[in-house]
């Protein structure tokens, strides 16, 4: 069998400050290898004949395209696809009016199956091949997502046992029964997922955190998204026995055993110094969701801007996320673009495209413990990549690449969902915008 060569330009993250940018490059892999194709070699196209002089090569000409690694989204709600563009004047109102009634539909397994199939296609279309996912409170929202989504996903059913509408509320024992069964079955592909502190009884959070540790699962939840929410959480918990002296929102989760290196907190916008310290000490992870936190006029929830400086100062592990449906678009290119625009506007100079790419690929893979398999385009890693059509034929640079995306999204942000021409997973094409191939 010949080796497969994708001839294309490519970009691949090194770290926050640097990126490989290669013009006239080539990605080489053995498509016939069992268990998923891995890249054997990446480099300049002109070196192919020399490096592979004893091999037969099947060349696939994609010289009009730029490849980048499959993308990761560290926090999104796959069951909120239909509410992402609904009015978002206030977080709690948006949840009550649109999000929760919509999530209730997932109580029907046939609906869940149908929607999972559709969401899988959306993931292929935007090139997201991994990340942390919130389902509804129903177990099927986890099983269907894990069955259908292609790539490296960790999924959890949201826990809601109090302060939730009756139609979307479980008893503590119902919730724990599901957690136990799914944690045991899916281990590190499962995330114990308290929706957020006010909707879950403390003893359910404590017990489910214990179950997560027992089965090597992840934990994910929301933390410190806006000031009304923080006030509400603190009032609620300080009136509960055992939490009278709780210092902060983060401290509540800490007391319940939720913090740790396998815990991902969404948002974290209004943390005190003590909370940053706690996250640092426990090596907890933050999912930064710039498009969801953006202003209401930009289809976000207007929650504020994440402090990149503090995250860096406290050496917190973090990566980027769309937070669909708090965020309006699933495309991580929209998220990366918004990340750079918002932080640059706030004069946060370290927020570059290089950092954005790193935090939507390699850094996310590290957080998932998968950097030995995915996250970049280098030899030994899986042949997972996207192809984007080149907009100019001049010298490829990272800034030029993203500048053309920025320009396009300025005119038509919804077109972020159409930036990717092809998505390849383990050496197989699973999406093509021209033929609408959906593969698996
Ligand atoms: Zn969220």
- pLDDT per residue over 330-344, tens digit each? 999 999 999 999 999
**DSSP, residue by residue, 20-85:** EEEEEEEEEE-TT-TTS-BEEEEEEGGGHHHHTTTS-EEEEEEEEEEEEEPEEEEEEEGGGGGGTT
Taking the centre of ligand 1 as the mean of its atom positions, its distance from the CA of residue 278, in whole angstroms, is 21
Rounded to two decimals, the pTM is 0.95
Q: What rounded mean pLDDT belongs to the chain? A: 94
Distance from Cα 315 to the centre of ligand 1, integer Å:
23
Distance 378 CA to ligand 1 centre (A): 32
Ligand 1 centroid from CA 146, angstroms: 19
* pLDDT of amino acid 170: 94
The per-residue pLDDT for 35 is: 77
222/156 Cα distance (integer angstroms): 13
Number of H helices, E strands in the chain: 16, 16
223 CA to middle of ligand 1, Å? 10
Average pLDDT estimate for 2-15: 97
Residue 351 has pLDDT above 50, yes or no: yes
pLDDT tens, residue by residue, 147-178:
999 999 999 999 999 998 888 899 999 999 99
Question: For position 439, what pLDDT does the model report?
Answer: 47
Q: Which of 19-23, 25-29, 204-208, 293-297 has the lowest mean pLDDT?
A: 293-297
Residues 338, 298: Cα–Cα separation, whole Å: 10
Predicted pLDDT of residue 90: 79
Tens of pLDDT, residues 255-268: 999 999 999 999 99
- Residue 397 above 60 pLDDT? yes
Contacts of 391 (CB under 8 A, 6+ apart): 404
Give tens-digit pLDDT for 187-245. Answer: 999 999 999 999 999 999 999 999 999 999 999 999 999 999 999 999 999 999 999 99
Position with higher pLDDT, 363 vs 34: 363
The order of strands in the sheet holding 420-425 is 39-44, 19-29, 3-13, 57-69, 385-389, 420-425, 428-432
Task: Look at residue 33 in the predicted model and tell me its pLDDT.
Answer: 82
State residue 436's pLDDT score.
56
Residue 137 structure tokens? 């409170």
> Of residues 125 and 300, which shows the higher confidence score?
125
- Pairwise CA distance, residues 358 & 147, whole Å: 28
Work out the average pLDDT over 358-387.
98
pLDDT at 180 over 60: yes
How high is the pLDDT of residue 440? 45
Pairing of strands 19-29, 39-44: antiparallel
pLDDT at 93: 83
Distance (angstroms) between ligand 1 centre and the Cα of 36 equals 32
For a pLDDT cut of 90, what percent of the chain falls above it?
Answer: 85
**Which pLDDT belongs to residue 437?**
52
Q: What is the Å distance from ligand 1's center to 229 Cα?
A: 13
Ligand 1 midpoint to CA 75 (Å): 6
CA of 196 to the centre of ligand 1 (A): 9
| CA 266 to centroid of ligand 1, rounded, Å | 6
For residue 305, name the pLDDT band (cuts at 50, 70, 90).
very high
């Amino acid at each position: 069998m010949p080796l497969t060569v994708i001839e294309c330009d490519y970009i691949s993250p090194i770290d926050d400050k640097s990126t490989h940018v290669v013009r006239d490059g080539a990605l080489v892999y053995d498509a016939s290898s069992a268990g998923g194709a891995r890249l054997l070699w990446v480099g300049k196209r002109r070196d192919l004949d020399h490096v592979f002089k004893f091999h037969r090569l099947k060349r696939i000409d994609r010289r009009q395209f730029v490849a980048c690694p499959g993308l990761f989204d560290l926090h999104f709600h796959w069951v909120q696809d239909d509410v992402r563009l609904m009015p978002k004047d206030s977080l709690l109102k948006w949840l009550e009016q649109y999000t929760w009634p919509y999530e209730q539909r997932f109580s029907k397994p046939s609906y869940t199956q149908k929607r999972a199939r559709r969401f899988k296609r959306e993931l292929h279309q935007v090139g997201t091949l991994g990340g942390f996912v919130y389902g509804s409170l129903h177990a099927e929202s986890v099983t269907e997502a894990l069955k259908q989504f292609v790539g490296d996903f960790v999924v959890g059913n949201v826990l809601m046992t109090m302060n939730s509408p009756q139609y979307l509320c479980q008893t503590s024992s119902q919730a724990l029964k599901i957690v136990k069964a799914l944690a045991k079955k899916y281990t590190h592909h499962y995330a114990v997922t308290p929706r957020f502190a006010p909707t879950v009884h403390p003893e359910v959070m404590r017990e489910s955190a214990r179950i997560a540790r027992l089965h090597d699962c992840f934990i994910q939840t929301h933390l410190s998204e806006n000031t009304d929410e923080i006030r509400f959480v603190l009032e609620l918990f300080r009136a509960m026995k055992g939490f009278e002296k709780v210092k902060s929102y983060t401290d509540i989760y800490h007391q319940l055993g939720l913090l740790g290196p396998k815990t991902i907190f969404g948002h974290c916008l209004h943390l005190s110094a003590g909370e940053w310290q706690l996250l640092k000490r426990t090596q907890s992870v933050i999912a930064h969701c710039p498009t969801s936190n953006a202003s209401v006029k930009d289809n976000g929830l207007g929650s504020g801007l994440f402090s990149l400086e503090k995250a860096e100062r406290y050496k917190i592990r973090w990566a980027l996320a769309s937070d669909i449906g708090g965020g309006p678009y699933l495309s991580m290119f929209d998220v990366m673009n918004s990340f750079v625009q918002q932080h640059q506007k706030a004069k946060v100079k370290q927020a570059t495209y290089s950092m954005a790419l790193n935090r939507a690929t390699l850094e996310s893979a590290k957080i998932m413990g998968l950097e030995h398999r995915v996250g970049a385009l280098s030899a030994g890693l899986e042949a997972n990549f996207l192809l984007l059509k080149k907009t100019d034929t001049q010298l490829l640079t990272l800034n030029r690449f993203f500048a053309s995306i920025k320009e396009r999204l300025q005119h038509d942000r919804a077109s972020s969902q159409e930036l990717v021409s092809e998505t390849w997973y383990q050496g197989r094409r699973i999406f093509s915008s021209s033929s609408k191939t959906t593969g698996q």
